[in-house]
Amino acid sequence: MRLVFATHNKNKLKEVKALLPSYIEVLSLTDIGCNEDIPETADTIEGNAMLKANYVRDTYKLNCFADDTGLEVRSLNGEPGVYSARYAGEDKDSEANMQKLLQNLENKEDRSARFKTAIALTLNNSEILFLGICEGQITTEKKGTGGFGYDPIFKPDGCEETFAEMKLTQKSEIGHRGKAMRQLIEYLSE
């Protein structure tokens, strides 16, 4: 089976390829010659995932899955949410995003947050959505060098380490993307 994963993000691609069985060949947007940024104009994480999957299906006539992930912080009314990648500006600077979030949480006692990943699959004429959620806390300082995005400041509930301090296998086991991916894999295996 051949599926496009609607991403240019090499870190996401690496995480996803590590999870999928070998009989599923995964192609990135770069692999299919899609060099444009697919517009993410929905007001929900689920809507953005579906927009990307539909764009690839409609434009390239290929089966596709696309994800969108957001970090939702309770004391900030769900911010950054759907704007997680662009929280500090359009250039998608992870360092600036983390700094802005830490500043916005400076005087907040409640640092609870959750990562949510939505994966939209367009397969033949079907559209299916899978959700993965990981509850946790925003730390007061960055820890770890692995992962990407907000990983250095997100500590999952029940863990002593941030995502950035974990091995990829551990992060995939408990993380939001891993949870959504396992649902996708189970569906594709039926």
- Closest-CA residue to 182 (of 170, 173, 48): 173
Q: Is 58 considered catalytic here?
A: no
* pLDDT confidence of residue 189: 84
Tokens representing 8? 């240019």
pTM for the predicted model, two decimal places: 0.89
> What CATH number should be reported for the domain holding residue 27?
3.90.950.10
Report pLDDT digits (tens) over 7-23.
988 877 887 888 788 88
Count structural domains, the chain.
1
Q: Tell me what percent of the residues of the chain surpass a pLDDT of 70.
A: 100
Report pLDDT digits (tens) over 59-76.
999 999 999 999 999 999
- Domain span at residue 43 reads 2-189
Report pLDDT digits (tens) over 145-174.
988 899 999 999 999 999 999 998 899 899
Q: Could you say which of 31, 68, 151, 157 is catalytic?
A: 68
